[in-house]
Amino acid sequence: MFPLHRGRRLRTNESIRSLVRETSLSPSDFMFPMFIAEGENYKVEIPSMPGIFRRSIDLTVEEVKEIFALGIRAVNIYVKVSENLKDNEGNEAWNPNGLMQNAIRAIKAACPEMIVMPDVALDPYSIYGHDGIIANGDVENDSTNVALVKMAVSHAQAGADFVAPSDMMDGRVLRLREGLDAAGFHNVGIMSYSAKYASAFYGPFRDALDSAPVEATEIPKDKKTYQMDYANRIEAIKEALWDVEEGADMVMVKPGIAYLDIVREVKNAVNVPVTVYHVSGEYAMIKAAAERGWLDHDQIMMEQLMCIKRAGASLISTYFAKEAAILLNK
């Protein structure tokens, strides 16, 4: 009788393993984060993120066409704003002819079926590098929400399919939904960064956009008064449920691999798709280790993406999107 159950029968060869595999990946599971800069025919690699570039709008459009052909159906876009356009209120964020708005229009004109989800937060536009308006030595919640609504409506006017608030202000999803609806954009969705932790994994991203908080005694030195404490789990569920109640169409957990327990908890709690951001620091660590020959780049990339999907992600925002799609298409 011993052993009655032999789990290895289902692992005998790749054909059997593929038959019983519980989780699968496809290029349509990925969203590609893209960094956009002013200029024309401009493409500069981000030193801390090998293989990821700041591109001008014309080259961004060409890259969008290429990844759409690979099966990727969504991009999450960010802009690097010139220093002379930054202020405390983020006024450039809702300029109808701003870099973000022009980028949205160009992408949708060239590739109408690509889902465009622009970032909604003030840090790229802030002289302080914070996600909101500084008042009385802190990020002021409610006035920031007013600015975010203007920003989101301008994105919708440019053709965005979803807006993606990453700011973590209280109540901003409800204000965004009200503002979009009042402007006639009932079909523009909200993908809310619901459980965005105050993480050290974001370092390379802030290099890409030059959006780290500046050092000044009169403002917070970091983003811990609005991003979540990474020691907390129940708080993430609460934040996600609040955002769904306020009208979020999708919720996000950020970062990814170090937070898979949170991904599963949120997935079990909400009835909307869960997006996971496989962030810049997680990307950079794999690249650095692979360059030194310590890890097999492609194997560890695919393992991490599969694990994020297995934990409950409906969509994975990852800098590996293009590389992974090429591998999957083979």
Q: For residue 74, what is the enclosing H or E element?
A: strand 74-79
Closest CA to 201 of 16, 48, 92: 48
Longest Cα–Cα distance of the chain, Å, equals 77
Q: Where are the beta strands (DSSP E) in 30-73?
A: 30-36, 43-45, 53-55
239 is in an annotated binding site: yes
Are 22 and 28 contacting, i.e. CB atoms less than 8 angstroms apart?
no
Single-letter amino acid code for the residue at 177: R
Are 147 and 93 contacting, i.e. CB atoms less than 8 angstroms apart?
yes
Closest CA to 311 of 14, 19, 29: 29
Question: If you ran DSSP here, which 8-state letter would residue 227 be given?
Answer: S
Q: Distance (Å, rounded) from C-alpha 280 to C-alpha 292?
A: 18
Q: Distance (Å, rounded) from C-alpha 300 to C-alpha 324?
A: 11
Are 280 and 321 contacting, i.e. CB atoms less than 8 angstroms apart?
no
- Token couple for 5: 């159950």
Which residues form the catalytic set?
196, 254
CB atoms within 10 A of CB 199: 18
- Binding residues for Mg(2+) are 239
